[in-house]
Structures are given as C-alpha cells and as structure tokens.
Amino acid sequence: MQLLSQFLKHQKTDEQLVELINTLMVACKEIALQLREGELAGVLGTTDNTNVQGETQKKLDVIANDVLKKLLLDNPLVAGLASEEEDDPVPGNPNGRFLVTFDPLDGSSNIDIDVSVGTIFSVLELTPGEDPALHKTYLQSGRRQVAAGYVLYGPSAVLAMTTGQGVNFFTLAHTGDFILTRENVQIPPTTREFAINMSNQRHWEPAMQNYIGDLLLGSDGPRGKNYNMRWIASMVAEVHRVLTRGGIFSYPWDAREPAKPGKLRLMYEGNPMSLLIEQAGGIASTCYAPILDVQPKEIHERVSIALGSSEEVEALLSYHSTDK
C-alpha cells in the first residue's frame, strides 16, 4: 500500500510540486465530503449567479471554487490561480513558483441527480518577471504543464494524475489518504465505444457527421464493427472511462456558436485532460491538431476535443483530413 506522497517521492518528483499536490488533495477531500452529504448539508440546487461563461452556478460550483481558492492561496508556493468560475486570475504569493488552473466541479449539471462529477486541475510554472494578476501570464501551451489530473467523485473518489512520468490512479481511503491503486495506466489502442452528445449532430461539421454516421452503421458500415455509445455529461467521468478501458470522447465544434472553436475550456479541461491522455498512450486532438500544441489567446478560451484510443482517434482525424 503506497500513499500518494510516498509514490511521488519514489518518482523523485520535485518536493515543492509534491507539497502543492498535497494542498490540492486536501481541497478535493473537502469537496468529496460536501458532495457525500449532499442535500443533508443544503448544498444542492442553483444560485442566482452566472459565471464568466454565462452559466448558472450550482451551489456546489461556488463551494468547490471557494475551497480550492482558499487552500491554494494559503500555500506560499502558489503565485496565482485561474478558475473556470472566476472572471479574472487571482494573484497569490508574489514569491510563489506555481500557477494553478482548475475547473472546481466539472459536470455540475449532474449534482442534483447524484451522478459522477469531478475536479480538474493543471499546474504551470510562473515565468520569472510575469505578473500572476494578468491574464497573459497564464497563456502557456499545454506542453508546459508540470502536473495535471482530476479527482472523480463517484462510488469512490479517485485521483488520476501525471507529473510527466505516466498516469497513475489513487483511491481515497477511509483514513483520508489517497492510495496508489493502478500504476502506469495505458489506454487500449482499439475500441468499440464512443461518447458524444448526439443531440447536437445536426450542428456538426460534415466530417464529424460522417464519422459518427459510420460508427452508427456498425458492422454493416465501412468500420466493420459494432459500437456502443456512452454519454454522462461529465468530462471527468468520460475521460476516466477512456483511461480505464479505452474509447473515444468528443465534444466537437458546432454551428450554433460558429465563432467559438468548441464548448470545453482549453486551460481548465482541454489541456489537463490531453496531458493525461497522451501520457497514457492515447491521442488528444482538436480534430485537426494536438490540443497540447494550441497556444492559448485567453484564459477562458474554448476548444474542440476528440481524445482517447489512438487508432480510433486516428480514424476520426482521417475523416477531417479528407472531409469525406
């Protein structure tokens, strides 16, 4: 039985990064507790507020954001943070080393029906001389992440994380410790499973419509095999399934808001999840290029996403390159 901190030290992870990860896990344990108590703690339902994305905030969105913000800003290593729920970056210690971006509660539309949600985080290093109160300080490509991961709050609370040395799973025990439960996770390269919001099909590009159409044809179509479709409406849960047993997850561009490249956020969702997927042997793409190579232009930038089993993502990319 190996504790998270022991495992990280065994990997020779930077000691300050270990300290920061420990702070993140303290916050996630508090969020897990709030979720477990649910309606008993009066934390279900919505607020009267909307976030910078124009989305109505759930009570637990606000609670999770406040928990993470307080604990991170109390850590002297944190120079600043950016959250999906905050309009602007929040500066921390002027002598801090790290920038943390996060989605405090991904999939929050599932909270009131008790379906899995999660916290996604990404860690960057502050460029010397940059101001952590400014948006431009955070606009680093995903290749510059020094750590990324998520905590899935499901039947058990599971941390999936990478520090650039593979992906590992840790499960929250009754002792309050995250314990290593799966080492060096690898995504199977082939799959018969896909996840996409089919209600948006009529709005997709022709290439995506053709790709999904061929999957739906199953063994009678050009792909020559039958597929199962999944949709949980929680990126953390979707990616966890992909990491655990393979598959492809996509949230592509659609014509309803043509000026936006996608729905999901590059800094809080796209980059950290893409690093996990690549570290586990999968592919993460905008449908045209690797997500980790996208140079952010703003902290709340959106991105199209297709990620998962390498052979299936390559098949999807072939449709977009030839526009069948």
Binding residues for substrate: 106-109, 197, 263
Question: Are 208 and 287 contacting, i.e. CB atoms less than 8 angstroms apart?
Answer: yes
User: Cα dihedral sign for 312, 161, 288, 237?
Assistant: positive
CA distance 99 to 92: 9
| Local structure of 77: helix, strand or coil | coil
Q: What sign does the CA torsion over 185, 189, 191, 197 have?
A: positive
Contacts of residues 88-91 at CB distance under 8 Å and 24 or more positions apart, as own/partner, are: 88/133, 88/135, 89/132, 89/133, 89/134, 89/135, 89/137, 89/138, 89/299, 90/133, 91/131, 91/132, 91/133
> Which residues are documented as binding site?
84, 103, 105-109, 197, 263, 269
* CA angle at 27 for the pair 250 and 141, rounded to the nearest 5°: 45
**Residues making up the binding site for Mg(2+):** 84, 103, 105-106, 269
Pairing of strands 248-251, 193-195: parallel
Determine how many CB atoms are found less than 10 A away from the CB of residue 293: 12
CA distances to 103, 126, 198 from 70, in Å: 15, 19, 38
Maximum distance among all Cα pairs of the chain, rounded to whole angstroms: 61
Please name which of 263, 232, 53 lies closest in space to residue 152, comparing C-alpha atoms.
Answer: 232
